[in-house]
Chain A
Amino acid sequence: GRVVDVSVCGSSSSLGRSLHPLLVPLVEECQRNDTINGTIAVTGVKSSKLDGPTEGICDRFTLAVPYCGTHIKWEILFDRLHPSLPPDIICSSEDESFDPDLDNLKSLAEWDVNKPTCLFHLVEELLAEYRKYQYSILSAHQRLDFEYTTLKENNNVDIHCTPDLHQPTAKFHIPLNVDFSIFPVYLKKENPGDYYAALTVLFKTPTASKIEASVLLSPGLERIFGGKETIKLPKWNEDTYLMDYVPAVNKLLQDKVDYLIQSFVKRKEYFASLLSVLGQAVLEYDTESYKKIAFLLEFQGFSFIAHIKLSDYFPKDIPLVSISSIYHKLDEQPLQVNLNTSPYNHQLEPDENIRKTMNYIQHMLPQFREMCKSNGNFL
């Protein structure tokens, strides 16, 4: 059987109740199928019957079809009195000159309301016609035509032109081909959802002298990277072409992903080194993200806890070391001090760095003890 999203389908959902029963499987298939670079949303469900209850006899609705990073809205009009007939379609007023060749809409000719995929196929065909329509506007400009044709060879590209005579702009939307599946488990757990990235390029002039480029990230991905601003896109010159620019952006993002994974691996290695030097003093460490580890240490009769924290960007970010007292409180909590300038050199071997850190802690201990004595509460 087919997999159906229970939250929106089924006779118990409001959509299932409102629509004419013959139309329900057609609409459900549109909502379920995500092979067109996103999912279709169904809104504005109404009935051609103007008065009285409309439950079970709604025959018109709007489909928001994903395209070019946004949605095209098409109003679909069935007739509740003849529900097996194919629908009429009203396009948005922005696309006044969009006039698809009906001969290319084979699903209209072969319409069979008992086939759940017929409406979806119609949407696919309309989308293909819409693409041709957008291309017909774009191809009037040689440079933009070249960009589109060369890009299309290796990428999925959506284009959208605003046919403004004075300031025509062309938007290119290119989903990026980055492997996000390799993220470590803890990152995926902390940032659930789909990971999706796309490049949007807005050509302000048909000669491509001026563009606006930005990266679109799904919410989970944005959190992982620490915000869109952390992505510094390459510079665009007049002699830059998308067929080179897009692979460069792909690499930029893939490198960021790879760095996060490398950091995870390096953190685990650093923990293994810490344990081989100080394992007999270990208290606890986190084995999901390998960011926190703590040891109980003693020097000249004074015991204390050494916390070591690593970030998502270790070793670019150096380890943070802090010391907690096991005797003294400050404001009802254990007295704790961050050692902000602990030594770390990524060119050294891990155990060399560890010994340097231990020497540094030993060096800072008298100060820490003094701080505990003067500022801390003991008993």
Chain B
Amino acid sequence: LIKIKMADDTSISSTLSSASVLSFEFNAQDIHSTSPEKIILCIDLANDVQTTKVKSIDKGDIPLLTVWKNAMELFVFNKSQLNKNHEFGLVVLTDQANWFCDFNNNPELVCEAISSLEAVEDSYQSFDTASLFSLVYENSPPPSQSNLQIPPPYIVRVILLYGRSHCLPIYKGDVEAHGELMASPYFFMDVLYSHDPPSGHNLCQSIFDILSEIYPKPKALVLDWSVNLVKLFNCFAKLLAHPLQRPLQSLMDNRLVTS
């Protein structure tokens, strides 16, 4: 069984404390200012997303990518309704990260691009996570901290949709982009790891361990999924929450409160 692990290890947080200038203590009554988000959806297209199946009661087994696409479209429209100024960019993951669709705040156009995505035939030996940070830093760096505006003019959020059960994400190379992004209080990264049921025949636990530390900050949202159709949609809905305003993952509680 995989437990969702929260990166609230104080030793990791303290080394980054000089970088996290904004306070993220969540007090339920506190009002935190919002900014438009530049959301980068990083969609894994390795063959796993075709072979991994989502089980549904009445529609049989559906390829993971098909459900991802559907849930992503709902995510984009729902998120755009929360603030028309949110923008969405698309990145596809093969053996490395590749830019697919530039930022756009029109949900219809973004969904058109999403619907055109197709899995590739290859499975890979590894995924180069450094390429993701380089790509993001080159194409969409977070706003500079020079004025320390609160709220910032926008924030950059990567949503990593990793779908492989046998391929480890490995950090190779460029340190600078990674360092710069991690040092910015306006850069965020959420992970939704979708995979086959973990077993001795796959690497799901190890992959999860790596992915849950890829953005080792208290504000990270790390979601883990396998098998259940409804739960996959629920994961995408959780990702709607704005990093500047949402509670820490361990404090999130969506139960309808009634008297």
Contacts and interface: CB of A to CB of B under 8 A. Distances in A.
A22 interface: no
B237 A297 contact: no
B12 interface: no
Q: What 8 A-B pairs have minimum CB-CB distances, sorted nearest first?
A: A279-B28, A326-B237, A280-B253, A284-B242, A299-B256, A355-B259, A276-B29, A298-B254
A278 B240 contact: no
8 contacts: A280-B254, A283-B240, A324-B78, A334-B77, A334-B81, A355-B259, A358-B258, A379-B59
A278 B253 CA distance: 9
A268 interface: yes
Interface in A317-358: 324-327, 329, 332-334, 355, 358
A8 interface: no
Interface of A: 268, 271-272, 275-287, 292, 294-299, 301, 303, 305, 307, 324-327, 329, 332-334, 355, 358-359, 361-362, 379
A361 B256 contact: yes
A283 B241 contact: yes
Interface in B1-57: 26, 28-34, 56
A326 B257 contact: no
Contact of B82 (A277, A278, A283, A287): A283
A292 B81 CA distance: 10
A329 B77 CA distance: 10
A149 to B, nearest CB: 53
B246 A334 contact: no
Contacts of A329: 73-74
Contacts of A287: 31-34, 151
Nearest to A359: B258
B257 A358 contact: yes
Contacts of A299: 255-256
A103 B67 CA distance: 90
Nearest to A361: B256
Interface string B74-105: 10011001110000000000000000000000
B237 A305 contact: yes
B71 to A, nearest CB: 8
